[in-house]
Amino acid sequence: MSKKVFIKTYGCQMNVYDSKRMADVLKPHGYEQSESAEDADLVILNTCHIREKAAEKVYSEIGRLRTEKDAKAAEGKNMFIAVAGCVAQAEGPEMMKRAPAIDMVLGPQTYHRLPDMLKAAEEQRTGGRMSARVLDTEFPVDTKFDHLPTDESGFEGTAAFLTIQEGCDKFCTFCVVPYTRGAEYSRPVSDIVEEAKRLVARGVMEITLLGQNVNAYHGTAADGSTATLGGLIAELDKIDGLTRIRYTTSHPRDMDQELIDAHRDIASCMPYLHLPVQSGSDRILDAMNRKHTREEYFAVIDRLRAARPDLALSSDFIVGFPGETDEDFEDTLDLVRRVKYAQAYSFKYSPRPGTPASVSKEQVPEDVKSERLARLQALINEHQIEFNEGFIGKEMDVLLERFGKRDGQMIGRSPYLQSVYVDVRNDHNALDAAGDKTYTDYMGKLVRVRILEAGPNSLKGELVRALH
Ligand code: SAH
Ligand code: SF4
Ligand code: F3S
């Protein structure tokens, strides 16, 4: 009998990728994916622990699910609640205590064991218990990548994620990732190339390579040597039909020459780079253990822009890191003015249990953090609008990914990762000259678009011609 699983994903793109793989691993066991928790036999919350709010959201979701679970139990039906991801890894045993409705807790490196855990949970609940108590937060020696299937069927979409590296050895003093994801691991080149080929065969044209420190990638190549990310991109570029390659997240320290050259030499390597700096103050960068100065960051950007002059940059920032003074914060604003990001994310520092910065005596008051965040976001926003407005009247290539709300409207991505709303009714060069074309024919296509309007978060334009 077919069962249903509902997976809710929080946090970063690596969790999005993992959620897909969990669905793949459950499929041969009779689980189809469901769009909501209501009709699901199994609910998996794939959680994030990066900031306080992220974890709190999970607990309130479990509260809601508990009501659902109780209602089902009253009808004699079982519903299993599983918590996966980084909160599971960081707080597994506490979660079991705090939320008795949870049946299973599984860390990010154990997803290939999900069917076994589910079996154990089912056995535990045959005696009529409300919840099972299955916990697996190990870092097994055999990696999940060797066991997780990749779904061969179905439309993947135009753009897909592909995890190539996981874990982190950097230990920034604010960050939980080295504890929740474990040590750095890079998948072998051949595995990645095979997975990319399967995606392309199913219609994917754009792949974003994922890793917590993606540019620290050092996977084994076919000849036994070690490939860097630049080398891997060169291999992937050979795949026919793979038009766009992106990667995220990069660390400024690992931006080597081979990767910088890839931006110059490989057309499919997109001119957009997320290169988080966190702070513009040397004092704070040092306290964060980022292992580079602001000048070194500027130098990396200069080299990148020399290789690819139209490269657009984005970053993450933390405001109110312990000990951050007004002067330190001004240094951050100054750095932002110098780099002029196309886009950037900024967060108030959130003390994470077990990290060195969380026990600092120099915590910054909440109102100071809020005020700094507002100032930083206003500046970033100004630059973002300026960047987007620079495209008005120009043409750009857009990969169409989904339908918009209006008639004839489709939404895609520019090379610089902007969302572009395209009116495809104005079709001067029909894809299908016979004339029985519908808008669906544009789905997953690369088109040339003239930009007419720009807002802070998106562009609007008209179709010039279809390219692909
Ligand atoms: N590996 C990436 C970042 C992963 S976490 C890197 O090295 O940059 C994603 C972002 O969350 C970070 O870039 C940081 O800006 C933010 N972040 C991480 N820990 C945080 C904390 N304790 N408080 C606030 N923001 C945090
Ligand atoms: Fe966290 Fe730093 Fe590792 Fe990024 S590099 S995942 S911020 S410890
Ligand atoms: Fe969050 Fe874990 Fe990703 S803490 S950001 S889900 S690596």
Residue 3 confidence (pLDDT): 94
Q: Say how many Å lie between the CA of residue 78 and the centre of ligand 3.
A: 30
Best probe residue, ligand 1, of 14, 50, 212 (max atoms within 8 Å of C-beta): 50
**Cβ(279) – ligand 2 distance below 6 Å:** no
> Which amino acid, one-letter code, is at 149?
P
Residue 435 confidence (pLDDT): 46
Task: Indicate the pTM of the whole model.
Answer: 0.93
Q: Say how many Å lie between the CA of residue 105 and the centre of ligand 3.
A: 16
* Dihedral sign of CA atoms 42, 46, 49, 55 in order: negative
| Atom 7 of ligand 3, residue of closest alpha carbon | 177
Q: Which ligand 1 atom is at minimum distance from the Cα of 213?
A: 1
**Cβ(259) – ligand 2 distance below 6 Å:** no
Which of 54, 363, 49 lies closest to 175 in space, CA to CA?
A: 49
Residue 468 confidence (pLDDT): 59
d(CA 233, CA 251): 17
Q: Which ligand 2 atom is at minimum distance from the Cα of 251?
A: 5
d(CA 408, CA 438): 9
Q: Say how many Å lie between the CA of residue 170 and the centre of ligand 2.
A: 6
Q: Say how many Å lie between the CA of residue 322 and the centre of ligand 1.
A: 15
Q: What is the CATH number of domain 395-466?
A: 2.40.50.140
Topology of domain 144-389, CATH:
pyruvate-formate lyase- activating enzyme (3.80.30)
Q: Which ligand 2 atom is at minimum distance from the Cα of 178?
A: 8
Q: Say how many Å lie between the CA of residue 11 and the centre of ligand 3.
A: 5
| Atom 19 of ligand 1, residue of closest alpha carbon | 175
Best probe residue, ligand 1, of 14, 316, 321 (max atoms within 8 Å of C-beta): 316
Query: Domain coordinates of the chain in residue numbers?
Result: 3-136, 144-389, 395-466
- Ligand 1: residues with CB < 6 A are 50-51, 174-175, 177, 212-213, 249, 251, 276, 278, 316, 318, 347, 349-350, 352
Residue 154 confidence (pLDDT): 55
- Ligand 3: residues with CB < 6 A are 11-12, 14-15, 48-50, 85-86, 176-177, 180-181, 212
Proximal ligand: closest to the CA of 11: 3
d(CA 249, CA 273): 9
d(CA 267, CA 327): 41
> Which amino acid, one-letter code, is at 275?
L
Q: Which ligand 3 atom is at minimum distance from the Cα of 46?
A: 6
Quick check: 443 and 374 in contact, CB under 8 A?
A: no
User: In terms of CATH, what superfamily is 3-136?
Assistant: Methylthiotransferase, N-terminal domain (3.40.50.12160)
| Atom 2 of ligand 2, residue of closest alpha carbon | 172
Q: Between β-strands 219-220 and 395-403, what pairing exists: parallel, antiparallel or unpaired?
A: unpaired
Best probe residue, ligand 3, of 180, 274, 316, 318 (max atoms within 8 Å of C-beta): 180
Residue 419 confidence (pLDDT): 97
Residue 431 confidence (pLDDT): 46
**Cβ(86) – ligand 2 distance below 6 Å:** no
> Which residues are CB-neighbours of 296 under 8 A, at least 6 positions away?
252
Residue 436 confidence (pLDDT): 44
Residue 1 confidence (pLDDT): 67
d(CA 321, CA 356): 12
Best probe residue, ligand 2, of 212, 316, 358 (max atoms within 8 Å of C-beta): 212
Proximal ligand: closest to the CA of 319: 1
Q: Say how many Å lie between the CA of residue 317 and the centre of ligand 2.
A: 12
Residue 441 confidence (pLDDT): 76
Q: Residue for token digits 């702070």?
A: 279
Q: Tens digit of pLDDT per residue, the chain (468 long)?
A: 689 999 999 999 999 999 999 999 999 999 999 999 988 999 999 999 999 887 788 999 999 999 999 988 888 888 999 999 999 999 999 999 999 999 999 999 999 999 999 999 988 887 777 788 888 888 876 778 887 777 655 556 899 999 999 999 999 999 999 999 999 999 999 999 999 999 999 889 999 999 999 999 999 999 999 999 999 999 999 999 999 999 999 999 999 999 999 999 999 999 999 999 999 999 999 999 999 999 999 999 999 999 999 999 999 999 999 999 999 999 999 999 999 999 999 999 999 999 999 999 999 999 999 999 999 999 999 999 999 999 999 999 999 998 888 878 899 999 999 999 998 876 544 444 444 445 677 888 899 999 999 999 999 999 988 765
> Which amino acid, one-letter code, is at 1?
M
Tell me the backbone φ, ψ of residue 432, rounded to 5 degrees: -120, 100
Written as one string, the DSSP assignment of 341-366 is: -SEEEEEE----TTSGGGG-S-PPPH
Residue 428 confidence (pLDDT): 45
Farthest-apart Cα atoms in the chain, separation: 72
